[in-house]
Amino acid sequence: MRLHMVYYLHPASDYRLMTYLVPVNIKSATYLISSPSVDNCPKPDKPEYAFIGRSNVGKSSLINMLCNNQKLAKTSSSPGKTQMINHFTVESANEKTGKTNSWYLVDLPGYGYAKVAQGKRKQWIKMIENYIRKRENLINLFVLIDSRHTPQQIDLEFINQLGEWNIPFTIVFTKADKSTQKEVAAMVKAFLHSLAQTWQFLPQSFVSSAVKYRGRKEILGFIEECNQKVATQNNN
């Protein structure tokens, strides 16, 4: 059964970005396995955090930035290169307490554009849905949104679907280095405003740049807090 996490949601009229400053050190991050379906994934014995977004949103680059390893997840300028459920094992340490955690990081195929046959695309969609809905140790799904663009219907529909499925998720706005801070802030506000049309409470959000390592401390701090909650639940 999936663990029930408590999230700090805020009213849809409030567009604040959440901040997590628990200092975290990534001790190691290693590739584990690529799976064609959720049934082939590793044993669900660790907290799991998955990353998803439209094709070419900067998913692999963000993962490499978080783990401080530019060769961990394969990056490509061609959309649709990630075609399986890719698991990585991460060992991290809370720099304040010294406590270490072992968790899974998952790189999922992008949704939306990809130069593949329609039949193959449908297989991807079903694979992603089965993973998201059935993976019992999935603690949080990070939904990546390109901060350079106005709200895209495909992103809004995907997030609304997650709400219907009751999937815990947060939003990460990527590629913040490609625009000015003012432009990024405007796009983030526009997206959250669009989301507020169908959500009473907004999910947590982060702004990131894989180039400038922006958002790394906040995202890793969020994961650390989730891991602490998981440990507390397991001990009760």
Instruction: Convert the pLDDT of each residue in 91-137 to its tens digit.
Output: 999 998 999 999 999 999 888 755 656 666 677 789 999 999 999 99
Helices 216-235 and 59-67: angle between axes, nearest 10 degrees = 70
SS3 per-residue string spanning 57-126: CCHHHHHHHHHCCCCCCCCCCCCCCCCCEEEEEEEEEECCCCCEEEEEEEECCCECCCCCCHHHHHHHHH
Nearest to 85 by CA among 75, 69, 73: 73
pLDDT computed for residue 5 by the predictor = 42
Band of residue 232 on the pLDDT scale cut at 50, 70, 90 = confident
pLDDT computed for residue 234 by the predictor = 83
Does this model's pTM top 0.75? yes
Residue 76 is encoded by which pair of tokens? 């490509």
Length of the chain measured in residues: 236
Q: Tell me whether strands 85-94 and 138-146 are parallel, antiparallel or unpaired.
A: unpaired
pLDDT computed for residue 81 by the predictor = 53
Neighbours of 192 (CB within 10 A): 23
Lowest mean pLDDT among 32-41, 70-79, 139-148, 218-227: 70-79
Which residues, at least 6 apart from 67, have a Cβ–Cβ distance to it below 8 Å? Answer: 26, 29, 88, 90, 105
pLDDT computed for residue 233 by the predictor = 86
Domain range summary for the chain, segments of one domain joined by +: 10-230
Report the CATH architecture of 10-230: 3-Layer(aba) Sandwich (3.40)
